Structure 1
Amino acid sequence: MTESVLGVLASGRGTNLQSIMNAIATGQIKAKIGVVITDKPEAKALDRAREANIQAVCIDRTKCTSKEDFEQKLVAALREYGVNLVVLAGFMRLLSPYFVQSFKDRILNIHPSLLPAFGGAHAHRDVLAYGVKVSGCTIHFVDEGMDSGPIILQESVPVLPGDTEDTLAARVLEKEHSLYPRAIALYIDGKLIVNGRQVIIQS
């Protein structure tokens, strides 16, 4: 059986990365992280990876000649470290069909809303502006669209009177930290079957 090797792509603090590392340490996720890649040299996710003795690489988008150049470097790095599941953890880049096809059905993403509602980069702002009473987070497979791939798991949180983007984000993030490791473990354990838009979870 081929060892499961994760490649985690992040742009920021890396709190979801930390939850994944914790889940690997406890045996919830039976895999290793081959490499953590960020597109920003100041991303705290790099520090988290290095402190855990995980390979950490920055491919600075601003120093690449084009999006194609950037993604070719991403794919090359992921392949160099033997990655067979790509995990997007706060990676703030829309991936092209070239990247998606390079790891077809092997890319997971987390989004801070109940998709298909409030996709895009400003989910919490949009949730509050619309006035909905419930938000949450979604784990999904990545396809060529924005936040449009088949949904694996979702969990809801209430939107409370007086919520700001920060207070809502904190409540959703707490759910993210438990939901993402669950989804990754289901994938690693071979319990996810994709049938069109439906993801069937085997017991």
Structure 2
Amino acid sequence: MPLRLGVMASGAGSNFEALVDSFRHGSLCGEVALLVVNNRDCGAQRRAERLGIDWELHDHRLQPNREQLDQALVQAFRTASVDLVVMAGWMRVVTPILIGAFPNRLINIHPSLLPSFRGLDAVGQALAAGVTLAGCTAHLVSEEVDAGRILVQAAVPVLSGDDHASLSRRIQVQEHRILPLAVALAAQG
């Protein structure tokens, strides 16, 4: 059965576009039915306009609390009849309201090999720790930040001349590769 995917993004939207490409080039069956952004005129919004994907703005700054934001997100995704939701660079912690509305159907992509370097600036954390191997993880979202069941991981060597930007670029290439696979695995249950 074709999958209807909802995507949440706050920034550039390259993971969102990688998902759209996966549907359009046949590695996933279905479509990205809705993109939700929380920052007006972010890169993800511009990509959605260019790609002809429906999008909505749900600005967290206009909501009194996280719970009301998440209730609005649940309503938007239910109205769009999505089967699965992906947090593709959504830079907000979500509440049990959103998690409970999509049990085992809410995926996050994180730029570290979890359980290492959870939370903000995982790439910076990896560089500060001096690790020789970094990477990314696609996981199911749980109430504990970056602690849900791991679906797929990809490793990236940390090179001697790496800085935040160079390591982030190599990790992002792997994010684009593993995120569609994670969506397929979650869709299969």
Equivalence for 2:61: 62
CA distance in 2, matches of 1:184, 1:137: 15
State percent identity of aligned pairs. 38
> How far 1:116 sits from its partner (Å)?
0.1
Trace 1:44-193 onto structure 2 (pairs within 5 A).
44-188=43-187, 190=188, 192=189
2:22 pairs with 1:9: no
TM-score by length of 1: 0.90
**Aligned amino acid, residue 9 of structure 1:** M
- Residue segments in structure 2 that go unaligned for 5+ positions in a row: none
CA distance in 2, matches of 1:65, 1:157: 40
CA distance in 1, matches of 2:181, 2:140: 14
Number of matched pairs: 189
Q: CA contact under 8 A between 2:4 and 2:84: conserved in structure 1?
A: yes
CA distance in 2, matches of 1:36, 1:53: 11
TM-score by length of 2: 0.96
**1:61-97: CA deviations, max 9, x gaps?**
1111222221111111111100110011000011111
CA distance in 2, matches of 1:66, 1:187: 29
> How far 1:107 sits from its partner (Å)?
0.5
Q: CA contact under 8 A between 2:156 and 2:170: conserved in structure 1?
A: yes
**Aligned amino acid, residue 171 of structure 2:** V
> How far 1:140 sits from its partner (Å)?
0.6
CA distance in 2, matches of 1:69, 1:94: 13
